[in-house]
Amino acid sequence: MKLGFTFDEKILDKIKFQDLIFKAKKTNISNIEISPDKNVLPIDTYVEISSYCKKLNIDVNFHIPYFAHDYLYEIMNFKEYKKDLIKKYEEFLCIVENIQNKTCNIPIIVIHGAKYINPEKFNEGMYNTLIFLDWILNFIEKKNISVKLALETLSKNTERTIGDIRKDVIEIIKKFKSNLLGICWDISHDSTNYYPGKVPFDDEFYKHIFYCHIHGVNIAKSISHISIQKSTIDFSKSINHLKQNKFEGIINLELLIKFCGKSYLDDLFNDINYLQNIL
């Protein structure tokens, strides 16, 4: 199992990216996850970050930067804003390809399913998810871009999302039968959906996982993306299941400054050390 962490751009107000990544490398971090968009940082900065990672033998993976635009990354809009949305994703994939050419690894892009307002709109959400995935998989193959997609498991909220139920993710993976598409198991989102019950360990689900997210969850405050050592939910059984089944993919710490506050850096490196000791 390889360990990575999400690069939160807000941290650049407190520390240089070189210092952060070098410190992470000393803890044997092997991957980082970035969400490049020109509305967040200059693209050249993401290229510099990635080039520095390459120098330190750290692989770079990606997450769709949903926070960077109001609606053009949201695939629930694929049918209505198809032309504009495709242009946005083509721009994103161009950035990914340019970075990938420098880092040389085959990165994973984490992606969310379509949102839908209520259960009655489920079929619309699934349709948008399927037609978008069909487009992006064809685009990647046609352009020969060396990436893989990981459809993320999400938490159930008032506004639902395709992917907040495991069976929907499995159905999508089976429908495409593509070696370019797998599951990003967000251990924390998934565990929240089953809380306070036990997380099931179903081989039909786990065999499609090649990437994981993990972060703490505070149930009482309804917040997540905090330190896993400050979490209401204990994830040790899920981590042990991955270990016992010799999971060879990546487990990515997804802490965010927005929720961790001033303790972000301490929380991040404490969690890295904690996971390095049990993986």
- Sign for the pseudo-dihedral over CA of 10, 35, 67, 267: negative
Cα distances from 26 to residues 19, 58, 202, 219, 272, in angstroms, run: 11, 11, 35, 33, 11
Task: List, for residues 135-145, the tens digit of each pLDDT value.
Answer: 999 999 999 99
Task: List, for residues 173-209, the tens digit of each pLDDT value.
Answer: 999 999 999 999 999 999 999 999 999 998 899 999 9
pLDDT of residue 175: 96
Rounded Cα distance, 269 and 185, in Å: 22
- Give the β-pairing of 59-63 and 31-34: parallel
* Average confidence (pLDDT) over 28-53: 97
Angle at 123 between CA 118 and CA 128, to 5 degrees: 100
213 in Cβ contact with 252 (< 8 Å)? yes
Residue 159 has pLDDT above 90, yes or no: no
pLDDT of residue 183: 98
Rounded Cα distance, 4 and 31, in Å: 4
pLDDT band at 157 (very low <50, low <70, confident <90, very high): confident
Q: What is the mean pLDDT of the chain?
A: 96
Does the predicted model carry a pTM greater than 0.95? Answer: yes
Tell me the percentage of the chain whose pLDDT exceeds 90: 94
Task: List, for residues 66-94, the tens digit of each pLDDT value.
Answer: 999 989 999 999 989 999 999 999 999 99
Residue 5 has pLDDT above 90, yes or no: yes
Burial pattern 31-55, b for ≥16 Cβ within 10 A else e, equals bbbbbbbeebbebeebeebbebbbe
In eight-state DSSP terms, residue 118 is: S
233 in Cβ contact with 205 (< 8 Å)? no
Q: Maximum CA pair distance of the chain?
A: 50
CA 54 from centre of chain = 20
pLDDT band at 25 (very low <50, low <70, confident <90, very high): very high
Termini Cα distance of the chain: 7
- 10 Å CB burial of residue 218 (0-12, 13-18, 19+) is middle
Tell me the percentage of the chain whose pLDDT exceeds 70: 100
